[in-house]
């Protein structure tokens, strides 16, 4: 392929300089950085929302546990068996 080491080293040097001047890979690097930032932002937002939902669920559970459930209508009915007062 190449007659001497000198020809091979010149070819490799030219390829290296062309590779260093090439800017096509720069957009890929920028895209990887933007995707990593977007993913980390999404994960942190998901974490914050899930913590808020968990706290809200605990608050709802605490407030609902204070209610007493009636199993019959007679317990809460005023005298006369009606749920409203008659006039």
- 38 φ/ψ sector (left φ>0, alpha ψ -120 to 50, else beta): alpha
pLDDT of residue 73: 65
The answer for residues whose C-beta is within 8 angstroms of residue 10's C-beta and 6 or more apart is: none
- pTM for the full model? 0.45
* Residue 56 structure tokens: 């809200």
pLDDT, tens only, 30-83: 888 999 999 999 999 999 999 999 999 999 998 888 777 766 666 555 555 545
């Amino acid at each position: 392929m190449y007659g001497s080491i000198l020809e091979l080293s010149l070819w490799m040097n030219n390829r290296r300089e062309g590779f260093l001047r090439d800017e096509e890979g720069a957009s890929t690097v920028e895209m990887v950085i933007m995707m990593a930032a977007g993913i980390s932002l999404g994960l942190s937002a998901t974490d914050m929302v899930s913590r808020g939902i968990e706290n809200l669920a605990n608050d709802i559970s605490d407030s609902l546990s204070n209610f007493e459930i009636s199993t019959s209508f007679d317990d809460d009915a005023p005298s006369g068996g009606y749920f409203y007062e008659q006039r």
